[in-house]
Amino acid sequence: MKKIKFLLLTMLIAMVGVFASCSKDSKTKQEGHNQIRTARALDSLVNLCQTKNLKYVIVDDRSKSQYDAGHVPGSVWLMEGNVYNMDNNEYAKAVKTYCDEHNLAGFNTIVFLVSDGSYALTTTMAGSISTYGFKKSHTYALMGGFPAWEKEYPTRIEK
């Protein structure tokens, strides 16, 4: 079973490479984690994870009021306050705790980050998350954050 999951994960990573080559600007690698350049690419990767039964979590790292106003379907909000003012390790610990509690923990879990569009914030978060048992190469950040999703999918917003 572990070999099958490993093969599926390998296929997912290979398919991400196909997305990158098919869509000139869909994904780039920065600071050891992946930047997803379009909301459509994020949507495709999440659908692929669901189809292949891979563990994943979409973490919205904006403020609670921003999350409540609208968020990517299926995303989770984990901490009170604005992440700009938080200790990144505290936030990463919250991601790990959530994954542990929802049977999503594991070295092969894929983490998608959705912020308010701050590149610096998502880079820092990805680095912090990797210290809690997640691979940086399995951490993806949507460039442009939630505003990019909202622009691409104005009718696919959960409240």
- Say what the pTM is: 0.76
Contact 112, 140 (CB under 8 A): yes
Closest by CA position to 61, among listed 43, 37, 42, 79: 79
Tell me if residue 88 falls in helix, strand or coil. Answer: helix
| pLDDT-based confidence at residue 41 (cuts at 50, 70, 90) | very high
Over 80: is that where the pLDDT of 37 sits? yes
Q: Which CATH number fits domain 2-152: 3.40.250.10, 1.20.1440.230, 3.40.50.12140, 3.40.190.10?
A: 3.40.250.10
Residue with the larger pLDDT of the pair 45 and 124: 45
| pLDDT-based confidence at residue 130 (cuts at 50, 70, 90) | confident
Residue with the larger pLDDT of the pair 81 and 122: 122
Domain ranges for the chain: 2-152
> How far is residue 144's CA from residue 113's CA, in Å, rounded to a whole number?
11
Handedness of CA 143, 146, 147, 153 (dihedral sign): positive
- Rg, C-alpha atoms of the chain: 15
pLDDT digits (tens, 9 = 90+) for 100-123: 998 887 778 888 888 887 766 666
